[in-house]
Amino acid sequence: MPSPAVRTVPWDPVTVTDGTDIPGFSALNRQPVCVRWTRSTTLVAMPAASTTLRMLSVSVIASLTVTGCQTLDDAGRALGHSDLVNDLAARMDGALTATWAAEYQLPGGRTASVAQTKTPLRSAYTWPDGKITVTQESVTRCETTAGRTACTVLPPELTAGKPSVLVWTEAEKRGLVTPPAVMGLLTDAALDPDAVITQSDTTVAGHHATCVDVKRSTGDFATCVTTEGVLGSFSGTLAGAPTEVTLSRYTESVDPAAFEVPAGAGVVDRRTATP
């Protein structure tokens, strides 16, 4: 498959004293220069399998709009933020096509789990009030109310080899924490010149993780992403509600039962029967 077309909106760079071309900034003793970068972006060509999450952040700097006067220090800080966001996005994007299972601790002692396999392609997100499972044969949505679970089996949907993308979309509709939602917050923070972003390293559930603490006028949050690209933790506000999740277990061995409907659930199959 040919690489995506690259569309570049040209600008006139000014060469600074150290020989580095930085668009829109002068080399006069790091003095502030009033500039404006428009929303026009340079789309970087990437393999199709790695664009899902990285496209959220690929234009972090290209789409930056500077409405006042900023110094080269500001530009360097923004570039550093975008590099960090792109690195975390690349990790999470790689995890979309891997085989793994994870368990998360939720507030109040509740738990949630995520499982996916590369062969066959399938993904599932289970939380206290429901479950979403996407396979090549079906999309199954389960809801639990008053101790009873009801599941609806629907026809399969195209997932471009990444069933988790559909799972995340369905999960976000229910206010659940997902990697794309976290990446959206990180991308917004990287675009905010007033955001204070602190990076650190730690271990979550026995796995190395890069952590980011963000302080913004619109709300603070903290998140960690493991080396494997799995969300290690998140604490902040999503969809207007405070939430928190922490990875408690990660494995690259997945139990097939993770993709089955919950035991005792009522099932309605709405797939069209084959004549």
pTM of the model: 0.72
Q: What is the pLDDT of residue 273?
A: 62
Q: 219 near 91, Cβ under 8 Å? A: no
Q: What is the predicted pLDDT for the residue at 77?
A: 52
Burial of 188 (0-12, 13-18, 19+ CB in 10 A): middle
Return the pLDDT at 239: 83
Q: How far apart are CA 107 and CA 34, in angstroms?
A: 46
pLDDT one digit per residue (tens) for the chain, 275 residues: 454 444 444 434 433 344 444 343 333 344 443 333 333 333 333 333 344 454 444 444 444 433 333 443 444 455 567 888 889 988 998 898 899 999 999 999 999 999 999 999 999 999 999 999 999 999 999 999 998 999 999 999 988 888 998 999 989 888 899 999 999 899 888 888 889 999 999 999 999 999 999 999 999 999 999 999 999 999 999 888 899 999 999 999 999 999 999 999 999 999 976 54
Determine the pLDDT at residue 103.
Answer: 98
Cα–Cα dist 62/43, whole Å: 9
Q: Residue 274: what pLDDT?
A: 52
Share of the chain above pLDDT 70, in %: 70
Tens-place pLDDT, residues 217-270 = 999 999 999 999 999 999 999 888 899 999 999 999 999 999 999 999 999 999
